[in-house]
Amino acid sequence: MRPVSVRLQRSQDYEAQNSYFVIIVTNRNVQNYKQGNFLGFFSMWHTVLNIYGPLSIHGYGLMIALGLLVFLYLLQRDPRFIQLKLEDRLSGLLIIGILAALFGGRILFFITNPEFYGQFIDLFTFFKGGFSILGSVLAVFITLSAYLYYLKIPIVPFFDLIALYTPLLQSIARIGCFFAGCCYGLPTSAPWAIIYTDQESIAPLYVCLHPTQLYSAIGLLLIFVLLYFVLQYRFTKPGQLGCLYLLLIGLERFIVEYWRGDEVTDALFSLNQYVAAALIIGALVGLGITYLIKIKKK
């Protein structure tokens, strides 16, 4: 259906500085919008609590913190955590991993969304949202590999261990993306579409959008369930869980990217899809190597 430019009046329940917004939607979007046939309006979770002045607790950062706490809780209860003797080195690994994830995700986000980059300080405004999970994964893998080598900790078993719980961390963090409005989807007339109304949201306001953040959150949760309850018992060779993790998150991102509205391109694939494809190919090669090693030992 051909998009049209329309002007919609805000409801009194969602008043802001301006009473009208010009948005690009489809004719069916307008009809569904007026009938209220959508998943909901999200204007309350960008900032959860204002502490003082510019100091606030944002929904985005809150969900990342929650995901990290769940990740650490499950990680430390895993017997392999003790076997790798990570107790005394966890703080260092955690700090380096968090910094790598923050800056790696932020840098790739700005590369794929240059319109959001205004000045150098934007690189450090993590609380505003805007991350690339693929950028975080790549940065963490490269940085922690070097640090683990320095500490003389087995690299492959370590990544097998964190690969088991990282999808759950990512799934919870994606809900933070949902609150912030980053990683938003294309306009849609689907009954589960969402509309953002918060002036601070990164997503377009009053546009009926695919909730791609929730698509990713659900997909990543299913990846965690599959890895934790099934695959870890069937793929037991070193490196296999890590490769399966990369394979599955690559597939998830490659597929969800088709509904993403923040990275529209005229090319056959987006930059993130190329990165995801590289992860998929690398994971398949890695799995093949573990299989060949197994055959060789026989």
For residue 260, the SS3 value is: strand
Amino acid at 43: S
Inside any domain, residue 13: no
Q: Which residue has the tokens 């993403």?
A: 260
* Burial class for 242, CB neighbours closer than 10 Å (0-12, 13-18, 19+): buried
Residue-level pLDDT at 118:
64
Annotate 20-75 with DSSP letters as a single string: EEEEEE-HHHHHHHHHT-SSEEE-SSSEEEEEETTEEEEHHHHHHHHHHHHHHHHH
Contacts of 224 (CB under 8 A, 6+ apart): 164, 165, 167, 168, 171
Specify if 83 maps to a domain: yes
What pLDDT, in 10s, does the model give residues 134-177? Answer: 788 889 989 999 999 999 999 999 999 999 999 999 999 999 88
The residue assigned the tokens 């992860």 is 279
pLDDT tens, N- to C-terminus, the chain (298 residues): 333 333 333 333 333 333 223 333 334 444 555 454 445 544 445 665 555 655 666 677 889 899 999 999 999 999 999 999 898 898 899 999 988 988 888 787 777 767 666 666 666 665 555 667 778 888 998 999 999 999 999 999 999 999 999 999 999 999 988 988 888 999 999 989 999 888 878 889 889 999 999 999 999 999 999 999 999 999 999 999 999 999 999 999 999 999 998 777 777 888 889 989 999 999 999 999 998 885 544 4
Phi, psi of 132 (to 5 degrees): -110, 115
**pLDDT of the residue at 104:** 84
* H or E segment to which residue 214 belongs: helix 212-226
Within a domain: residue 18? no
Inside any domain, residue 2:
no
pLDDT at residue 180, as a whole number: 85
Nearest to 275 by CA among 156, 165, 129, 111: 111
Q: Model pTM?
A: 0.79
Contact present, 38 and 14 (Cβ < 8 Å): no
CA distance 204 to 261: 10
Number of domains forming the structure of the chain: 1
Tokens of 212: 């791609």
pLDDT recorded at residue 4: 33
Could you count the other beta carbons within 10 Å of the beta carbon of residue 121? 7
Distance in angstroms (rounded) separating the CA atoms of residues 120 and 123: 6
DSSP letter at 195 equals E
Examine residue 210 and state whether it is found in any structural domain, yes or no.
yes
Structural contact between residues 122 and 110, judged by C-beta atoms closer than 8 angstroms: yes
Does a structural domain hold residue 17? no
50 neighbors 56 (Cβ within 8 angstroms): yes
Listed residue (211, 222, 208, 235) closest to 171, CA to CA: 222
Range of the domain at 158: 44-297
Separation of alpha carbons 60 and 65, rounded Å: 9
In this structure, is residue 183 part of a structural domain? Answer: yes
Question: Which tokens is 165 given?
Answer: 């719980």
pLDDT at 294: 58
| Position 4 in a domain | no
